[in-house]
Amino acid sequence: MAQTSTTPRAPQRAEWTGQLGFIVSAIGSAVGLGNIWRFPGVAYENGGGAFLIPYIVALLTAGIPILFLDYAIGHRFRGSAPLAMRRLAGKLGEGIGWFQVMICVFIAIYYAAVLAWASSYFVFSFDLKWGGDATGFFTGDYLQVSASPFTLDFVPAVLIPLVLMWVVALVVLGAGVVKGVQRLNMIAIPLLIVGFVALVVRALFLPGAIDGLNALFTPDFSALLNPGVWVAAYSQIFFSLSVAFGIMMTYSSYRKRRSNLTAPGLVVAFANSSFEILAGIGVFATLGFFAFQQGVAVDQLEGLSGVGLAFMTFPAIASEMPGGQAFGALFFGALVLAGLTSMISIMEVILAGVMDKFALTRKQAVYGLGGVLAVISIVLFGTSSGLTALDTIDNWANNIGIVASAVVMTITVLWIRRAGTELSGHLSTLSTFKVGRVWIFLVSVLGPIVLGYMLVATIWGLVNEPYGGYDTGYLLLVGWGSVAVMIIASVLLTLSPWRYNPDRFTPWPPVPGERPVGFTHNSEGGKR
């Protein structure tokens, strides 16, 4: 039983320099492309001003509680998603952790592509290179979208920025949690805020901006009776806040043991939502201007969200306004900053997972595994067939992958492992904002019910209607196929051996309701 000095040890875990470093980095992770291009359109289409009601309810009843759950697991069990979940819930937990890692693998591969497009368009802004037909420019001249679903025709204008984005991401990650990730966030996030506020202020002075704001904020109360609107609100909060796919768990695992968890978490959650509201104001003020220029009403416009909003509608609008070059540069610059800090966090989940399990050094993980992912991303998206793949994988990874991960995680942690008391005790002992039975109820009952409903509704919808009108065989291979690959890979990764024993760990602090790590497979140990 003696602990000998020859017990093998991994190098000390990385740590943020303090609370501020963690908060800014977590905000950097949460604030991403979706805050800018998803929220405004979703709000507009789901009741406008009335959407705020389900949105705020979703934030308080699911977003913040599950964020706290992620923090509690990552911080208490001091590991990446597979490691922390393994310590908490054995091999089942580890499998869930790897599934979250695999979601991040798929997302990272296409996220870099969008970042690349945004960086290209940042450069294009200076002479409004997209010309008079922004839509045609994007799909035709820039992406050179092919009719066939898979090609190896590389498009240099996309390839070069894509390689560049991967180089930047890998260099930042290779420099470490503090010198790379934290430092990038401490520079990028203030810059993002200043730039974006400037953009919004500019937009508010455009003619027609007020009509845009009216369009967004006028409530349609009948929307509140539509369950789809509530699903949309919960979905938006969920994806926007980056919960339940390993990011917040990994980031909180880098905090020192004696840390306030919930109060910073509230700041992160409200900062994320604040940015979305700001984006909503900016985007719709701009759309209002566009409607005014075109002589139509806002509700007659198209391309109000997503890739279309960013790369077709906004460029067209920038061409119409005085100072459009600066406007475009601010907009695409913001997309790059928001996207890069999010991409870094997605990659960190993957790297931390393999570093913890296989005892790779950071440099090995970043340049080895990271390099492989970069190559896959470049081959898939540096060519003329990228857009369809991106759209498909994004839909399955998010709406099936992340939601399923959240349902399985909450059920496993709160019902199978019954860790609610232990985790709420952990949070409350260390934090200034206490959580108790209400929190446990929200994460163990309300969360799984709402998420389960969302998952079933989504699967039902996808089975009945081919997504995006794409070929069903393609969707089966690329969409469902992605999920199948995630599951298979999770199983294989769980079955492979750990370099160091993950169960030799004692959580701190001792709290009521806790169970020793390795509890679920005590039959091997004889510790009882």
Partner 1 sequence: MTPIAVVFLSIALVVIWGGLIGSAIFLSRQTEVAQYPAGGEEAFHDPLGN
| Contacts to partner 1 by CB under 8 A | 7-13, 19, 48-50, 52, 56, 78-79, 83, 210, 213-214, 216-219, 256-258, 260, 263-264, 266-267, 270-271, 273-274, 277, 280-281, 356, 429-433, 500-502, 504-506, 508-510
Tallying the residues shown for the chain, one arrives at 528
Cβ–Cβ < 8 Å for 43, 219? no
In the complex, the smallest distance separating the C-beta of residue 305 from partner 1, rounded to whole angstroms, is 18
Nearest 5°: the CA angle 266, 183, 176 is 105
User: Given the complex with partner 1, which of 480 and 500 has the nearer CB atom?
Assistant: 500
Q: Count CB atoms within 10 A of the CB of residue 429.
A: 14
Amino acid at 226: N
DSSP for 271-291, written as a single string: HHHHHHHHHHHHHHHHHHHHH
> Least separation, in Å, of the C-beta of 353 and partner 1?
13
The least CB distance from residue 195 to partner 1, in Å, is 18
Q: Least CB distance from residue 19 to partner 1, whole Å?
A: 6
By 3-state DSSP, what share of the chain in percent is helix, strand and coil, each rounded to 5? 75, 0, 25
* CA 124 centroid distance within chain: 27
Q: How far is the CB of 509 from partner 1 (least distance, A)?
A: 4
Cβ distance to partner 1 smaller for residue 154 or 505 = 505
| Residue 225 amino acid letter | L
Nearer to partner 1, 150 or 433 (CB): 433
CA distance 186 to 188: 6
Q: How far is the CB of 434 from partner 1 (least distance, A)?
A: 10
User: What is the spatial distance between Cα 268 and Cα 29, in angstroms, rounded to a whole number?
Assistant: 10
Please report how close the Cβ of residue 1 comes to partner 1 at its closest, in angstroms. Answer: 15
56 versus 411: smaller Cβ distance to partner 1: 56
Among residues 18 and 468, whose Cβ is nearest to partner 1? 18
Residue 500, judged by CB atoms within 10 A of its CB (0-12, 13-18, 19+), counts as middle
Residue closer to partner 1, measured from CB, 432 or 472: 432
Tell the smallest beta-carbon distance from residue 54 to partner 1 (Å).
Answer: 13
Tokens of 391: 């759209």
Q: CB–CB of 339/347 below 8 Å?
A: no
**SS3 sequence of 46-106:** CCEHHHHHHHHHHHHHHHHHHHHHHHHHHHHHCCCHHHHHHHHHHHHHHHHHHHHHHHHHH
Q: Which is nearer to partner 1, 272 or 313 (CB)?
A: 272
The distance of closest approach from Cβ of residue 55 to partner 1 in the complex, given in angstroms and rounded to an integer, is 9
Nearer to partner 1, 237 or 400 (CB): 237
Find all residues with CB under 8 Å of 269, minimum gap 6, and list them: 30, 59, 63, 64, 67, 241
Q: For partner 1, which is the closer residue by CB, 12 or 523? A: 12
Min dist CB 290 to partner 1, Å, is 18
Q: Tell me the closest approach of the beta carbon of residue 352 to partner 1, in angstroms.
A: 12
Report the distance separating Cα 218 and Cα 249, nearest Å: 37
- Burial label for 452, CB within 10 Å (0-12, 13-18, 19+), is middle
Q: How many CB atoms lie within 10 A of CB 65?
A: 25
Count the Cβ atoms, other than its own, within 10 Å of residue 147: 7
Task: Quote the Cα angle for 307-55-36, to 5°.
Answer: 25
Closer CB to partner 1, residue 461 or residue 513? 513
5: left (phi over 0), alpha (psi -120 to 50) or beta: alpha
Nearer to partner 1, 213 or 307 (CB): 213
In angstroms, give the least distance from the CB of 329 to partner 1: 26
Q: How far is the CB of 214 from partner 1 (least distance, A)?
A: 5
Closest to partner 1 by CB, 263 or 484 = 263
Give CA separation, 177 vs 79, 185, 187, 195, 264, in Å: 14, 11, 14, 25, 19
Q: How far is the CB of 258 from partner 1 (least distance, A)?
A: 5
Considering the complex, state which of residue 213 and residue 406 has its C-beta at the smaller distance from partner 1: 213
Joined together, the tokens standing for residue 449 give: 């019910």
- Residue 250 β-bridge partners: none
Select 271 or 343, whichever has its Cβ closest to partner 1: 271
Tally Cβ neighbours within 10 Å of residue 233: 27
